[in-house]
Amino acid sequence: MTDSATRLKPRTLIAYGISDLPVMLANIPMMLYLNAFYAKDFGLDLVDMANMLLFARVFDLITDPLVGYLSDHTKTRWGRRKPWMVASLPVLVLGLYQVLVPSPDADLWYLVGWMIVMQLGWTMLMIPYYAWGAELSKNYDERTRIAGWRAGMGSVGQLIAIAFPFIFGLPLFVDMGWGLTGFADILRVTAYAAVILVPLCVFTTIWRVKEAPNAGGSAMEMMDGLKVMAKNGSFRWLVITFMLSSLGLAVMMPMNAFYVTAVLDVPQMLVPTVMFFGTFAGLLGLPFWMAISKRFGKHRAWIGGLLFVTAFSPMYLFLGPGDFWYMVPFAVISAFGTGSFMALPNAMKADVIDIDTARTGENRAAMFFSAWSLTSKAASSLGGSLGLWALALVGFDATLGPANSADALMGLKLVYVFLPAIIFVTAGIIIWKYPLNKERQERIRAAIDRRQERCTQAAVQLAE
C-alpha cells in the first residue's frame, strides 16, 4: 500500500487493472447481444425475459452485502481481498460459460438460473477487487489514476471482445471453419476467451500487487454498518447518480443491436463495428476526462461526460435503412464522453469511504463496494428490462427485425434516442452540487492519518 505522497508505478497499476480486462471482455458482449440472442434464437418473450432477469437480481440483495461484510472481516496471511478473488473463479467461470454457450433446449429458467450463478461469482470477485483498489492510495488524484488505469485495461477487454468478428473474419479463420456468422458465434468465442483469461488475469493481480494483510479490519456488525452508510450524505448523492448513469448505459447498450439490425437494416455482424469504434473513442477519452477532473473536480468532469454522450443522440432519429456509415461518426463522437464514466465514479467511491473511516475509525471498503455493486447490478437489470418493456410497449418484435411496422421502428428510434438521454441529464442534475471536492477529501484524510498516528503511538507506549 502507498501513502498519500506516493505515486504507484505504471507496472503496479497495470498489474492491478488487468483483472478488469476479462471482466469487461465478457460483460460487454452480454450487454450488447444477449437479449437479442435469446429473444431471436430461443424465442424468449421480451417482457417475460425482462421480468425474470429483474427477478434474478433479488438474490443480490443478500449476496452483495454479505460478501462485502465477510471480505471486510476476513483475516488470513494473504490479506482480506485475495482469498475471495481466488474462491470466485470456479463459480464465475462456470456461470459465464453456461450463460454464453447455452444448451440447445435452454429456456427462460435456464437463463435465470445460470445468471444467478454467474452473478454470485461476479460478486465474490469484483467487490473485494474494487475495495482493494480503494485501499491502494489515500490521495485524491492518485485514486483517479488507479481507477483510470483499471478502466483502461477494461476498455482493452471490450475492444478485444468487440473485435472478435473482425479477427475471426480473416481468411485464415474462415478457411478453418472458425468464421463467425451471428450473435451465437460471438458469445461462444467470448466464453472461450473468458474461461482462459479470467483466472490468468486474476492470478496476475494477486501475484504482482501487494495487499497489507488484515489492515484496518472492521469490527462493526453488518446492520449497524448499513445504518452508518445510509447517513453518509456524499454516499447517497454518489450512489443515486451512479445508479442513474449505469441505468442509462444499460438501456442504451443492448438497444444498439436492435437499432442497427432493424432500423438500419444491416447484418448482425456489423453491430460490433460501431461498438468497436465507440469503445476506442471512450478509451481515448479517458486521459482527457482525467485531466478535466484534476482541473475542475471529478463530479464536474463526470457531468461533462454525461452531457457529451447525449449531445448527438437526436441525430439517430433521421437515419434509416442503408445509413449505417452515417451513424458511426456520431456514435464515435458521443462515445468519447463515456471515458468519464469509466474512471471517475470509481475514484469518487474511494473518497466517500474516507468519510466513513473518519466517522467510524474502520476501513469498510468492501461493504461500500457491495452497495455499489448491488446498485450497478440493479441498474443493469432494470435498464435492460426497461428497454425491453419500452420496445414491447411500442409494438416492436425482435424476431421480425426490419420487417416491423413503420410505427414500431419509429418507436424503437424514440426509445433509443430519448430514454437514455433523459436518464443521463437527470444524473447530471443530481450530482451538480456534490459536496466532496479535493480540498475537503484532503482534510478528511489528514484527520484519519492523525488519528491512526495517535493510535500507533499509544500502542507503542503500552508495549513499553
pLDDT tens digits for range 132-147: 988 888 888 898 899 8
* Interval 54-72: pLDDT, tens: 787 778 878 888 898 888 8
**Which pLDDT score, from 0 to 100, does residue 2 have?**
41
Residue-level pLDDT at 165: 77
Q: Which three cell numbers stand for residue 40?
A: 431471436
Give the Cα-Cα-Cα angle 37, 39, 44 (nearest 5 degrees): 135
How much is the pLDDT for 15?
Answer: 96
The whole-number pLDDT of residue 214 equals 52
For residue 300 the three cell numbers come to 464536474
pLDDT at residue number 410: 95
- Can you state the angle between helices 183-208 and 140-167, rounded to 10 degrees? 140
Amino acid at site 319: L
Q: What is the pLDDT of residue 1?
A: 42
Q: What is the pLDDT of residue 179?
A: 66
In this prediction, the residues of the chain whose per-residue pLDDT falls under 50 are 1-5, 215-216
For the chain, list the domains and their CATH numbers.
Answer: 10-209+221-463 (1.20.1250.20)
pLDDT for position 4: 44
Percentages (nearest 5) of helix, strand, coil residues in the chain = 80, 0, 20
pLDDT score, position 363: 73
The long-range contacts involving 44-50, CB below 8 angstroms and separated by at least 24 positions, are: 44/107, 44/108, 44/111, 46/388, 46/389, 46/391, 46/392, 46/398, 47/388, 47/389, 47/392, 48/108, 49/108, 49/111, 49/388, 50/384, 50/385, 50/386, 50/388, 50/389, 50/392
